[in-house]
Each structure stands twice: as structure tokens, then as C-alpha cells.
């Protein structure tokens, strides 16, 4: 019997929109403070973070599709770290480093803003940063990759009690396991990692499903992370937005194929 959801809200807990660009050689930590002032009073706090590795989707002979194999550091080691600005509503996080600009929506008591609304907010903030870099002679933003990530959480005891039941929630990822009762074995953990080309060589979709602990709570969850990423044309800046839209469509269609149809209908995602 398929699981029945105890809530009608979709399981999304985070959405990340990203532009990766060529290294800004003149960007310093001092610029972070200046840009924070330009963001305005709605961005109330800042945090430091370690650098996120540059990632490129490479195609052709000898290319490796998995994220762990595509991490490439092209910037020198003396670049400033990653800065994170926190919105007053606590649901938005803006991240900047010398090669990346990211906007995160994280689930809180606010409703999910939708991809279109978050993308519009991303475009406004990115345009502000682009103008800042030009005015302060930091360098030109030359985007080389678009990237979009969705994170969905399926908490334990709501839709599942054992990893044996993950196939009921995500039948497109977890096949039915053979019974191991006669071997005196009980399944404790399982995980899956997949990578798909968005044909023809427009990008890749990376899937990762595994057990995790919910931050701030002693509760286990099944975490599904879906990242779409692809190259941006040097001759057409609009290809970044087109790539994001392609990634969104790819992730949404894949999600509908991976998740149990009854859950998709209950969450109102079957349209």
C-alpha cells in the first residue's frame, strides 16, 4: 500500500539559484561590507563561510559526470572567503564569493515563494551586484555556469519508518529490495546517487538521496537533493536565465517521475 501524506504541503525545504562566473581578481573582503550597505536594512546579519568549489559540466571523451569529480579550483588561494547575508525574515540567504553568487530560500514559517518569484528576486540582487562591481572596478561578471538546486525532506514517522519503505515514496530511485529475513539482516541505511545528461549536452541533472538529521531536531529524514547545472554562452548573457528555466523544468519533471503518484496528487503537483 502506498504511503498517505499527513500534510498537504510539498516536501521542499530549500531552493538555491546560482550564477558561477570567472574569478574577480580585485574583489576583497572590504567590498563585502560596502555591498552590504547597498543591500539595505532588510538584510540584517552576515556570516562567513568557506569557499564553494567551482564546478563545470564537461562533455565528451574522458569527462566525468558526478559532482565530486567535477570540482575544479581555478582561483588562487588568497581570494576572500564566502560571505552570507541573512534577510530579516530568516528565509532568504544571499551568498557571494569571488566566483559565485547564490540566493537561497530556506523553509520557515513563510510560504514557499515559487521558482518564478525567487528567480525575479535573484535577478534584482544580481543586477545590483553587477552594478556594484562595475562602479567599484572590481571586474566584469562573466558567467560560465547556471545552477539550480532543490532540496526535499521526507521526515521519518510521517511517510516512512524504515529505509525499506523508501521505495514507496521514491519508486523512481529505490527499487524493491529482496527480503533478507532468512539471512538475519535488517536494513539500517541506504543511499542513491545518479547523474543524467540534459540532452544534447545542455547540462546535467544530479540526484542524491540519503538519510540525514533535521537541523535543530533529533529527527531523521530522507533527503532528496536535485541539482541541475550547465554551461552559459559567452556571447549570450540571457543563456543563464534560459539555463535556469531549463533546470527548473528538468527538475520538476524528474521529481514527478521519481515520487509516488498519490503523493504528487496530494501535494497538488500533478498539473
**18: pLDDT confidence band, cut at 50, 70 and 90?**
very high
Task: Return the pLDDT at 138.
Answer: 95
Task: Return the pLDDT at 231.
Answer: 95
Is residue 1's pLDDT more than 50? Answer: no
- Give me the sign of the Cα torsion angle 251, 242, 229, 225: negative
Cell, residue 77: 588561494
Residues above pLDDT 70, as percent of the chain: 87
Cell, residue 152: 526535499
Between 202-211, 229-238, 253-262, the lowest mean confidence (pLDDT) is in 229-238
| Dist. CA 242–CA 221, nearest whole Å | 33
pLDDT (mean) for 39-58: 95
Task: Return the pLDDT at 186.
Answer: 76
100 CA to centre of own chain: 13
Task: Return the pLDDT at 140.
Answer: 93
Task: Return the pLDDT at 247.
Answer: 98
Angle, helices 115-135 vs 29-39, to 10°: value is 120
For 151-205, the pLDDT digits (tens) are: 999 999 999 998 989 999 999 999 766 655 666 777 788 899 999 999 999 999 9
87 with 93: CB under 8 angstroms? yes
Amino acid at each position: 500500500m502506498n504511503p498517505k501524506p499527513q500534510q498537504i504541503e510539498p516536501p521542499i525545504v530549500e531552493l538555491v539559484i546560482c550564477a558561477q562566473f570567472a574569478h574577480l581578481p580585485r574583489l576583497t573582503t572590504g567590498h563585502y561590507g560596502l555591498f552590504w550597505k547597498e543591500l539595505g536594512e532588510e538584510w540584517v546579519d552576515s556570516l562567513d563561510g568557506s569557499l564553494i568549489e567551482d564546478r563545470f559540466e564537461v562533455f565528451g571523451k574522458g569527462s566525468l559526470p558526478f559532482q565530486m569529480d567535477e570540482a575544479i579550483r581555478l582561483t588562487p588561494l588568497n581570494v576572500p572567503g564566502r560571505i552570507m547575508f541573512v534577510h530579516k525574515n530568516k528565509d532568504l540567504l544571499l551568498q557571494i564569493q569571488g566566483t559565485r553568487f547564490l540566493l537561497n530560500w530556506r523553509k520557515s514559517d513563510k510560504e514557499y515563494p515559487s521558482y518564478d518569484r525567487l528567480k525575479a528576486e535573484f535577478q534584482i540582487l544580481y543586477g545590483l551586484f553587477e552594478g556594484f562591481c562595475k562602479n567599484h572596478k572590481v571586474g566584469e561578471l562573466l558567467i560560465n555556469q547556471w545552477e539550480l538546486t532543490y532540496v526535499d525532506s521526507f521526515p521519518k514517522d510521517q511517510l516512512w519508518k524504515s529505509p525499506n519503505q523508501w521505495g514507496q515514496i521514491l519508486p523512481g530511485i529505490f527499487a524493491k529490495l529482496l527480503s533478507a529475513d532468512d539471512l538475519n539482516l535488517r536494513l539500517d541505511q541506504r543511499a542513491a546517487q545518479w547523474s543524467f545528461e540534459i540532452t544534447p549536452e545542455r547540462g546535467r541533472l544530479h540526484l542524491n538521496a540519503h538519510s540525514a538529521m533535521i537541523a535543530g531536531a533529533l529527527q531523521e529524514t530522507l533527503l532528496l537533493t536535485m541539482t541541475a547545472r550547465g554551461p552559459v554562452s559567452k556571447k549570450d548573457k540571457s543563456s543563464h536565465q534560459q539555463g535556469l528555466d531549463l533546470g527548473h523544468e528538468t527538475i520538476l519533471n524528474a521529481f514527478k517521475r521519481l515520487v509516488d503518484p498519490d503523493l504528487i496528487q496530494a501535494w497538488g503537483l500533478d498539473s
